[in-house]
Structure 1
Amino acid sequence: MKTVLHKANTRGHANHGWLDSHHTFSFASYQNPERMHFGVLRVLNDDQVAAGQGFGTHPHDNMEIISIPLEGDLEHKDSMGNVATIKEGDVQVMSAGTGIYHSEYNKNEDKEVKFLQIWVFPNTRNVEPRYDQISIRDIEKKNSFYQVLSPNADDQGVWIHQDAWFHLGKFDTGVSDSYTLKLKDNGVYVFVLEGEVEINGQKLGKRDGYGIWETESFELKSLTDSRVLLMEVPMSLGKIGR
């Protein structure tokens, strides 16, 4: 088993007033050659947007973009004609493909919105752009991991153009759960949303990241009440569409 540890306080940070963002991997003005990506996981931004503020219309192409709100409401508009609001308990995905424009705004004038912005390199380029979102309310489980993203349109959760699987888990203190990788050449990036956990003797706190690869499975123990995101992705950049 190989691992890499990214403590929360080692992330890149940018505070633009309306946006307070922490970057696990190189992004915008934060450039760290040792923190470019984890396999095909390219961006993991922990964003906090001020009341009534947001990202103006901007373009994307050939990227799978996943948004996971943690608090508040985020309004989405795009060039495909989609207008939607995502909130805590939702998962949103966009396949940018040949190119899209979109905007994201904090829908509330009285409180901030917090969400994860995640980019994954696709295994197929120049696909037709698409948008989807789900509520996890009907699929979430207590004290075990449950799937919220996969490569399969007919599987549980949203889907993307990549051999990737995302799971969420909300655990009580002292509870353990194991995770078995779907593909042997994949790795898992563990991101602790709340609380403290332990994996193979490594203790992780809130917003710590921990990459694991060259293993078939691992066990996570919750040291306090916790919430954790697992992102299983191909480790080889050869899995990126050309």
Structure 2
Amino acid sequence: MSHTAHIPSHRKPRRNASKTAIRSGVAGGVLSTIALAGAAAPANAEPVTETIEMPTLTSGLAGSVAQSAAATQQVAVDLELRAQQDAAATHAAKVAKKAKAEAERKAEAKEKAAAAARAKAAEEERASRSEERTTLAASSSGSSTPASYGTTQASGSAAAVLAFARAQVGDAYVLGSTGPNSWDCSSLVQAAYRQAGVDLPRTSQPQSTAGTQVSLDNLQPGDILYWGGAGSAYHVGIYSGGGKFIGAQNSGTGVVEKTLDWDPPSGAVRLL
């Protein structure tokens, strides 16, 4: 028998393999139980559902905010446009009011000028008639007649011609018109001579050769004056005595009685 047979060993005894297996099995079983318990937890827990719905709520809110911003911007644009339109309308009204006032002012000034012109013409007419009366009075008292103009007083048929012609002084001149309130040169002469029973041609050319040609130094009241050539005259009038004539001159003067110096004639014919 060995001397070391009964000496206890200092090495730790080895564990039994079967115990180790049992312990491993127990640990595995516990872990398996925990895993099964976790797997058996409810699948429809509330927190999971709420987390899934959040993106949908956030997206809808962003859309509403964008629409509100767009609507606000459109309102601002509309208000600005309305303000511009109101300003333009106000400016247009001011311009129209100013233009109307200016037009009224010009019309008033034009009417005043026309009234002044009429008053001046009336004054000249009164002066002319006054001078005519003075001339006739001087002739009646035995004053001499200007040699360059021949006889100054009308008598008989010539007086009737001049009375009609003088009554038309102030009427308008209208080319082609034959009275009673507007005339051209030859229609006035024709109508005046009709008062003496003389039927003259209508136009100035044949009127300038209707009677006997006479000198401008030996005129008598009632003689027909013409401007231009005999037979080709472009204007006619009637010698009224005292170095004057009556004629429908032009659209600016109408029917007037003027001195021969105002518009010297070319020649004259005598019918009475």
TM-score of the aligned structures, taking structure 1 as reference length: 0.23
Task: Specify which structure has the higher proportion of helix.
Answer: 2
Question: RCO greater where, 1 or 2, for CA within 8 Å and sep 6 or more?
Answer: 1
Flag the structure with higher strand content: 1
Q: Which has the larger radius of gyration?
A: 2
